[in-house]
Amino acid sequence: MLAKRIIPCLDVDKGRVVKGKKFQNIQDVADPVELAKRYNDAGADELVFYDITASNEERNIFLDVVEKVAREISIPFSVGGGIRSIDDINSVLRSGAEKVSINSAAVKNPELIKEAAVKFGNQCIVLSIDAKETSSGKWEVFINGGRKNTGMDAIEWAKRGEELGAGEIVVNAIDTDGEKNGYNLTLTKAIADAVNIPIVASGGAGVKEHFSTVLTEANADAALAASVFHYGEISIPELKAYLEEQNITVRR
């Protein structure tokens, strides 16, 4: 069994880490470089950085922050938000990120996934899907920081993303984001069962049990969380010890 990964997520706006609920009520949390160092030292497996307003504001991503983080940590990290072209991907990877997460741009131009996977390798390209349940058992893809409904079926889009060359998919359930009531197990499992690439569950972690459930019952390969880590409600060493007690293989 491959080790399951624990991934803190840093939503960055104007150079600061922020957090909200269901993509609303954004509040300031911390300096991204300091927080990245803290998670690196605590035993996180990877980090994810999202520039949460870059796509909506149609501006370039925070490369200066990416470079500072790369100098301070030894674990892999991926960067997303405001990435629209092969040049953008190249700039982020050259700044020190191991992976690039594409969301809005991939929806608007699916060939970007294919081009990027060919040029940089599948392992570098993450398809990020922000999904919301629009009717019973149907999830649709939202873009521009959860502001715009594309009408696309999230599970079909995940399958297409894999076919185009994405090496991993982050499934972020807008309905559960920041609520701390648990991940959306139904959505996560539906996508995990539909593709053969790793799935990262996102949106809703509140207690340690939520991590073990999504990593087993929903077949996720990794669990991403933000506020429970940012505010010290769950420590990564404690979480990994708990998961080992549940017979879930983690990296130590």
**SS3 call for 30:** strand
The question of whether 45 is a catalytic residue gets the answer no
Which residue out of 45, 51, 88, 130 is catalytically annotated? Answer: 130
| Residue 84, CA distances (Å) to 52, 61, 101, 209 in order | 14, 10, 11, 37
The question of whether 11 is a catalytic residue gets the answer yes
Phi, psi for residue 17 in degrees, rounded to 5? -75, 130
How far is residue 83's CA from residue 116's CA, in Å, rounded to a whole number? Answer: 11
How far is residue 131's CA from residue 92's CA, in Å, rounded to a whole number? Answer: 25
| Residue 26, CA distances (Å) to 29, 53, 61, 107, 116 in order | 9, 11, 19, 25, 31
Which residue out of 11, 13, 88, 177 is catalytically annotated? Answer: 11
Residues carrying an active site annotation: 11, 130
